Amino acid sequence: MAQQRIVGIDLGTTNSLVAYMQGDKPVIIPGVDGSNLVPSVVALDPIPAGGGRPSVTVGNSARKALIETPERVVYSVKRLMGRGIEEVRKELKYFPFRLAEDVEAGLGISNEVPRIQLGELRFTPPEISAYILRQLKRNAERFFGAQVRQAVITVPAYFNDGQRQATKDAGRMAGLEVLRLVNEPTAAALAYGLDRAKEGTIAVYDLGGGTFDISILKLRDGIFEVQSTNGDTHLGGDDIDNLLVAIALDEIRDEHGVDLRAQPGAVQALRMAAIDAKIKLSAEQSVRFDIELPYGDRYQREIPRSVFEAIIEPVLARTAGPCKQAMADAGVTPEQIDEVVLVGGSTRIPAVRALVDNLFHLSARGNKQHIELNPDEVVALGAAVQADILAGSSQATEELLLLDVTPLSLGMEQLGGTVARMIQRNSTIPASATEHFTTGVDGQTSVAIHVLQGERELAADCRSLARFDLKEIPPMAAGLPRIEVRFLIDADGILQVSAREQRSGKAAQIEVKPTYGLTDEQVENMILDSFDHAEEDFAKRLLIEARNEADSILAVVAKAPQNPAWNQLSAEEQTAVAAARDWLTMVKQTSNLGAISQAIVALDKATRHFAELMMDAAVSSAIRGKTMTEAGEKVDEAVTAPHAMAPAEFN
């Protein structure tokens, strides 16, 4: 029986590719037209003359419909994957397609997956992506003469959980089992790693059609370990195209008195001319922009490379910030970067290469950028390497290991609205973490778990990922339940959270599904916000934690008169406890952290003898009639307790 093929797929914003390992070398599988690139364009054909559902075309044939029937064509759908309706709506000013009418009318809920209206039919972004993946699957099956059912698909490193899940959904719709999602910069490092078995620190600068990623990796003994990752999910060659088109539209309106924005076909013709000019300017010093307008006019303009570079400078400059942050997160300076790999078609632009040279101080050190592999193909080639690693089908990759990271921290809300961070950002994945918590209210029978993503100290400033309940917990006194919470990130970066009350065995879990509604600005600024507000956040957290500690101590002291040990205290000791209690009760409502801390220390000192008497009684009770081993277990249980969670979290 023939071995099952696992292919590597680069599902790109502008173009998509499929590749496989041919012996010890990754190779791109060409399409039926002989081209390695499949444009990520999907078109809905006209309704057949005899009626029925119109067919769908993908790739170069679909691009031809952009000018004639732009309302039946969708492209750059990757920018819409896993995103909310309002986010998608902002994108549509650049595209000829529109949201389905019922959603535009406000009948859809805010986190509904948006649907694109193409002619008579409606499609979600994952459905559109599935058509592209299905075409790549057909290309591979025609090439192999056999079915292809499994694939590794690349995604931008900064794709959030919703965008990753949407990509997996698209794969399933296309009839593919997605064995792994691998970050695009990491895939590029894998592709280059086959040719250069070196140790060192590598930066992968990936500027594609719709996204920008920067990753810092360590290469050592066949292990590719991602040290940090950063990027911008809304930055790429499309933004350059949109700039050129916007300038041309304004000039045509001013010079010819025609506003082409109301004519989608003309706008798309202008966009294709802008893309052609952009590509030529990577090799030529000047190009002529020449396009026929409606009513017989022509728009002509000479564009020198210097003017082009001035126009796009603000777009390119946006890549500098993520690069500097990624180096800071990895703890390296530009001089410690041994090699820089360029990925994505937009890195062919000379101004981009000059920017990279300056960012990483390459020329000054005599280093060169790595452009040996086709920047359009290198991600797909790396995906094929990862597919081969999973298949274990060749000696070329049997000693390679890929260690990826999660770009944002994950945790849960705890007492007072603070965040218990479970998995830190830039942790190597797969990853897991387990913490133990308890209740803060007597007799609680259910627990609400609130899962968060972000770098801030307070839950209100982080992104809410999911909520679920742990129910039917036997009623016990506050502090007695032992609740184990486990976070697990799989190799695709998908999160699973489980909770279990250890005494009763009651358990619950959730897999974090697509959570649309996170704006690009929120994703890209989470880490920067955490730095900007670090001091303020930390002060708030300390105050909340001090108040929580005060509440816990006061709750114990309130029950003190009912404990037999209380009567063993002298009248002076009881008076001192009451005075310290009243002082703490008063100051804990203020924002004076120092006063609260002092009051806690004072009450702790006043109750120390009482605590010793209670412990003596507890130990005596624990060991009465027990063997030494049994007594030890009872004492350990009496003095060991997990952290308490907020009553608001345990309803």
Max mean pLDDT range (56-70, 427-441, 541-555): 56-70
The three-point CA angle 159-401-209 to 5° equals 30
What value does the mean pLDDT take over residues 188-213?
79
Q: Are residues 187 and 320 in the same domain?
A: yes
Q: Look at 348 and 391; give whichever has higher pLDDT.
A: 348
Kindly report the length of the chain: 651
Buried residues in 376-405 as b, exposed as e (16+ CB within 10 A): bbbbbbbbbbbbbbbbebeebbeebebebb
pLDDT at 650: 38
Q: Is residue 115, in this structure, part of any structural domain at all?
A: yes
pLDDT at 154: 94
Model confidence band, residue 404 (pLDDT cutoffs 50, 70, 90) = low
pLDDT at 130: 92
What value does the mean pLDDT take over residues 136-153?
94
Q: Are residues 307 and 428 in the same domain?
A: no
Q: Is residue 578, in this structure, part of any structural domain at all?
A: yes
CA distance 42 to 129: 9
Model confidence band, residue 468 (pLDDT cutoffs 50, 70, 90) = confident
pLDDT at 531: 54
Provide the CA 584 distance to its chain's centre, in angstroms.
Answer: 43
Buried residues in 167-197 as b, exposed as e (16+ CB within 10 A): bbbbbebbebebbbbbbbbbbbbbbbbbeee
What value does the mean pLDDT take over residues 251-273?
85
Q: Where would I find the H helices in 78-121? A: 85-91, 101-104
CA distance 259 to 249: 7
CB within 8 Å of 175: residues ≥ 6 apart = 134, 137, 149
Lowest mean pLDDT among 46-60, 286-300, 465-479, 613-627: 613-627
CA distance 161 to 100: 25
pLDDT at 622: 54
Cβ–Cβ under 8 Å, residues 100 and 115 = yes
CA distance 276 to 170: 30
CA distance 475 to 488: 28
What value does the mean pLDDT take over residues 528-557?
73
Which of 366, 383, 404 terminates a domain? The answer is: 404
Buried residues in 139-164 as b, exposed as e (16+ CB within 10 A): bbbebeeeebebbbbbbbbbbbbbbb
Q: Are residues 568 and 602 in the same domain?
A: yes
Q: Look at 559 and 194; give whichever has higher pLDDT.
A: 559
CA distance 385 to 380: 9
Q: Which long-range contacts (CB under 8 A, 24 or more apart) does 258-267 make?
A: 258/293, 258/294, 258/295, 258/297, 260/293, 260/294, 263/294, 264/70, 264/71, 264/96, 265/66, 265/67, 265/68, 265/70, 266/293, 266/294, 267/70, 267/96
H or E, element range at 522: helix 520-532
Q: Are residues 31 and 159 in the same domain?
A: yes
Provide the pairing of β-strand 419-423 with 410-413.
Answer: antiparallel
**Token output for 633:** 């277990």
Max mean pLDDT range (54-63, 435-444, 642-651): 54-63
Q: Are residues 299 and 218 in the same domain?
A: no
CA distance 147 to 181: 21
For residue 282, give the CATH number of its domain: 3.90.640.10
Report the amino acid identity of residue 311: I
Q: Look at 214 and 409; give whichever has higher pLDDT.
A: 214
276-308 tens-digit pLDDT: 999 999 999 999 988 887 777 888 889 999 999
Mean model confidence pLDDT for the chain: 80
Q: Is residue 631, in this structure, part of any structural domain at all?
A: no
89-122 tens-digit pLDDT: 766 766 667 787 544 444 333 446 788 888 888 8
pLDDT at 111: 46
Instruction: Inform me whether the pLDDT recorded for 400 exceeds 50.
Output: no
H or E, element range at 165: helix 161-173
pLDDT at 623: 56
Q: Where would I find the H helices in 174-330? A: 184-193, 237-256, 264-280, 305-317, 320-330
CA distance 400 to 224: 8
Q: Are residues 195 and 291 in the same domain?
A: no
Q: Is residue 417, in this structure, part of any structural domain at all?
A: yes
What value does the mean pLDDT take over residues 611-629?
66
Model confidence band, residue 537 (pLDDT cutoffs 50, 70, 90) = low
CA distance 383 to 27: 11
pLDDT at 152: 94
Provide the CA 583 distance to its chain's centre, in angstroms.
Answer: 47
Q: Is residue 28, in this structure, part of any structural domain at all?
A: yes
Residue 475 φ/ψ, nearest 5 degrees: -65, 130
Cβ–Cβ under 8 Å, residues 193 and 50 = no
Instruction: Inform me whether the pLDDT recorded for 191 exceeds 70.
Output: yes
488-517 tens-digit pLDDT: 887 666 778 888 888 788 888 777 654 443
Model confidence band, residue 359 (pLDDT cutoffs 50, 70, 90) = very high
Q: Is residue 630, in this structure, part of any structural domain at all?
A: no
Provide the pairing of β-strand 495-501 with 298-304.
Answer: unpaired
Q: Look at 454 and 43; give whichever has higher pLDDT.
A: 43
| pLDDT-above-70 percentage for the chain | 82
pLDDT at 332: 95
CA distance 330 to 230: 11
Which of 482, 517, 552 terminates a domain? The answer is: 517
Model confidence band, residue 616 (pLDDT cutoffs 50, 70, 90) = confident
Q: Are residues 256 and 329 in the same domain?
A: no
pLDDT at 377: 95
Max mean pLDDT range (201-210, 286-295, 325-334, 398-407): 325-334
Order of strands across the sheet with 369-370? Answer: 369-370, 339-343, 200-207, 212-220, 223-232, 401-405, 428-429
pLDDT at 512: 66
15 forms beta bridges with 39
Model confidence band, residue 361 (pLDDT cutoffs 50, 70, 90) = very high
Instruction: Inform me whether the pLDDT recorded for 135 exceeds 90.
Output: yes
For 173, the domain range is: 6-235+314-404
Q: Are residues 120 and 252 in the same domain?
A: no
Which of 372, 404, 436 terminates a domain? The answer is: 404
On the 0-12 / 13-18 / 19+ scale of CB atoms within 10 A, 300 is exposed
Q: Which residues are the active-site residues?
A: 10, 78, 184, 206
Cβ–Cβ under 8 Å, residues 588 and 551 = yes
Cβ–Cβ under 8 Å, residues 2 and 22 = no
Q: Are residues 77 and 224 in the same domain?
A: yes
Q: Are residues 103 and 228 in the same domain?
A: yes
pLDDT at 397: 46
**Which residue is it, tokens 């390992």?**
21
Classify residue 418 by its DSSP letter.
B
Is the backbone peptide bond immediately before 430 cis, with ω within 30 degrees of 0?
yes
For residue 369, give the CATH number of its domain: 3.30.420.40
What value does the mean pLDDT take over residues 260-284?
88
Q: Are residues 499 and 440 in the same domain?
A: yes
pLDDT at 378: 94
**Which residue is it, tokens 């490092």?**
189
The three-point CA angle 329-331-333 to 5° equals 110
Cβ–Cβ under 8 Å, residues 267 and 245 = yes
For residue 569, give the CATH number of its domain: 1.20.1270.10
Classify residue 406 by its DSSP letter.
-
**Token output for 583:** 């002082």
Q: Are residues 58 and 159 in the same domain?
A: yes
For residue 436, give the CATH number of its domain: 2.60.34.10
Instruction: Inform me whether the pLDDT recorded for 195 exceeds 50.
Output: no
Provide the CA 561 distance to its chain's centre, in angstroms.
Answer: 53
**Token output for 619:** 């130990």
Model confidence band, residue 487 (pLDDT cutoffs 50, 70, 90) = confident
Q: Is residue 252, in this structure, part of any structural domain at all?
A: yes
Instruction: Inform me whether the pLDDT recorded for 637 exceeds 90.
Output: no
Q: Is residue 154, in this structure, part of any structural domain at all?
A: yes
Instruction: Inform me whether the pLDDT recorded for 20 exceeds 70.
Output: yes
| Overall domain count for the chain | 4
Provide the CA 305 distance to its chain's centre, in angstroms.
Answer: 36
Max mean pLDDT range (91-95, 163-167, 311-315, 467-471): 311-315
Instruction: Inform me whether the pLDDT recorded for 354 exceeds 60.
Output: yes
CA distance 114 to 135: 23
Q: Look at 377 and 232; give whichever has higher pLDDT.
A: 377
SS3 at position 487: strand
**Counting runs of H as helices and runs of E as strands, what totals does the chain give?**
20, 30
Q: In sequence order, what DSSP letters do the residues of 347-380 get, joined into one string?
A: GGSHHHHHHHHHHTTHHHHT--EE-SS-TTTHHH
Minimal CA–CA distance to 212: which of 196, 238, 232? 232
Report the amino acid identity of residue 31: G
Q: Where would I find the H helices in 21-80? A: 60-63, 65-68
Cβ–Cβ under 8 Å, residues 110 and 84 = yes
Q: Look at 150 and 448; give whichever has higher pLDDT.
A: 150
CA distance 426 to 329: 8
pLDDT at 221: 65
